[in-house]
Structure 1
Amino acid sequence: MIQSMTGFGKSVLQLPNKKITIEIKSLNSKNLDLNTRIPSLYREKELTIRQLISKSLGRGKVDFSLYLEITGEETSSQVNNVVVKEYMNQLRELSPYFEGGDQEVELAKMAVRMPDALTTTREELDESEYNVIEDEIKRALAAINEYRLDEGKVLEHDFLKRIDNINALLEKVIAIDPKRVEQVRERLLKAVKELKEEHDPNRFEQELIYYIEKYDITEEKVRLKNHLDYFKETLASADSNGKKLGFICQEIGREINTIGSKSNYAAMQQLVVQMKDELEKIKEQMLNVL
């Protein structure tokens, strides 16, 4: 069962005094390209989170975001009373108009905007809380993997349809091959007759056999059929192996190109063009397979 590298997973965790939102999205990439956005409180766990994502998703351009929203009454920031009062004293000295009543309110507003007016106490990471968050990350990873599987089913259906199309075109190539050989024979015989020179029939037949053998596509037809069957077997395997399928596509393309170069027959070359078109559509989608 193949998987797409495109996916999205989201999970929301409500803790007593905070809300955790986890979002993971991925696109296709040759390797794992992971970008993380994590609040400073959980930054020490970034390596653990990266390893968790890498093990679960394998490949792709992955964006991981962990959003923290404080919902309780507690806050890690406090007013530094000593500093604010000193700022207010200095502001009063600047102008005699900042005295009494509303002026004190304005002074306070100005003072709290000054540097060091607020102090922030660094919150220590609670391991038990992180364990709950890690479980939620695993749920988000399960969601994105489910998304990838659904996308993979769509890709698999498309691949099978196009492989069957190439198989059908190959059967047509096999059917018209004898006619192609006969046409080559007739064309060469006609060319010799137009020379109006006598020739040795046995010698001509030997040369004709040699010429036709150079354009024989029996091996290419057999190999192409085997590659198409192998592609379908790999597609049905338990693992999602986009790179292996990509290599098989290269072999399929090589056999199709050889048939096209050897055919020397318009009707067969038209079938080859159609096979190439189907294969290119497979290759385009193959970039998105895990």
Structure 2
Amino acid sequence: MTSSMTAFARIQVQEDWGSLVWEIRSVNHRYLEPHFRLPEAAREVEPGLREALRKHLHRGKVECSLKLQLAEGQQQLSVDESALEALQSVVNKVETYFINASGVNPLEVLQWPGVMNNEEANMAPVHAAALKAFEMALVQLSDTRRREGAELEKFIHMRLEGISEEVENVRSVLPDLLESQRQKIMDRLEEAKAELDPDRLEQELVILAQKMDVDEELDRLSTHISEVKHTLGKKGAIGRRLDFLMQELNREANTLSSKSINAGLTQSAVNLKVLIEQMREQIQNIE
């Protein structure tokens, strides 16, 4: 099923230990590029978050933000008295060497590594809830991406129908165009027949016939259209394959334009390139 790479999901959880909110935003990107914004208390769950993300998504730049609010009593601050005594001993020793070394700022002392203890309650339930809520947010995000992908698929099918109509239009008028062009050439050659070398004349006719023959380009366009439809029905990441097919479609449209023998054929080639470019822009958002 076709999935877009642009989506947003938000999940909020309220428990006895507090609350958390997950917000996930994704936009188009060539590869899967996750970015996590986590509070310090949830850093250790990041590997599990990355693993879960890879199971759900294949491409896209994904911003994952977790807001965590712990209830009162979940975190308590205390002073490590042994570390504080050791620090005081060092300060006393410094005072013996330097005048005015006393008057230590208590807040600066508290910033010394090891003096302050952050006594946290059991964080296992919080971490488990964060992982579970993240999975729920990923499901929500994936559903949104699929819904938008379904709309993109409809858009692409409409453009494919437009390309098919242009191809059939060229096929239908091509015999008359070729016959008219051949007749014009023959009339001109008839007038100048006495002045042209027969071998040179044959070479020119072969060159003109090759220039006017666009059957191969029309066949390739039809083949690429069928392949795009087939790719849209595949599972998994299909965006890169579709982008490649857009390049191939555009190549054939350019060749058709270069072989144009009248204004009508030129206009059809232009219409084809417009439709292909419209598809290509939307395909940039497909996973």
- TM-score w.r.t. length of structure 1: 0.81
User: Does 2:184 align with 1:187?
Assistant: yes
CA offset digits 1:34-61 (Å, max 9, x no partner)? 1111111121221221222122111111
Partner of 1:166: 163
Look up the SS of the partner of 1:197 in the other structure: helix
2-side partners of 1:286 and 1:48: how far apart? 31
Alignment equivalent of 2:283, drawn from 274, 279, 286: 286
Alignment equivalent of 2:110, drawn from 108, 116, 119: 116
Retained in 2: the 8 A contact 1:7–1:25? yes
1-side partners of 2:65 and 2:36: how far apart? 6
Partner of 2:65: 65
Question: Structure 1: which 5+ runs fail to align?
Answer: 84-110
Partner of 1:31: 31
User: Does 2:239 align with 1:245?
Assistant: no
For 1:1-290, what aligned pairs fall within 5 Å after superposition?
1-77=1-77, 116=110, 119-123=116-120, 126-195=123-192, 197=194, 204=201, 207-290=204-287
Cα 1:224–1:74 shift into 2, 3 Å: closer
Retained in 1: the 8 A contact 2:12–2:19? yes
Cα 1:258–1:79 shift into 2, 3 Å: same
Question: Structure 2: which 5+ runs fail to align?
Answer: 85-104
Look up the SS of the partner of 1:174 in the other structure: helix
Look up the SS of the partner of 1:24 in the other structure: strand
CA offset digits 1:177-212 (Å, max 9, x no partner)? 112212321232243245473668898577535521
- TM-score w.r.t. length of structure 2: 0.81
Cα 1:74–1:129 shift into 2, 3 Å: closer
Cα 1:180–1:122 shift into 2, 3 Å: farther
Look up the SS of the partner of 2:120 in the other structure: coil
1-side partners of 2:203 and 2:144: how far apart? 62
**1:125: Cα distance to partner?**
5.9
2-side partners of 1:122 and 1:284: how far apart? 53
Partner of 2:95: none
Letter matched to residue 56 of structure 2: S
Look up the SS of the partner of 1:263 in the other structure: coil
Count of residues in Structure 1 that have an aligned counterpart in Structure 2: 263
Cα 1:21–1:4 shift into 2, 3 Å: same
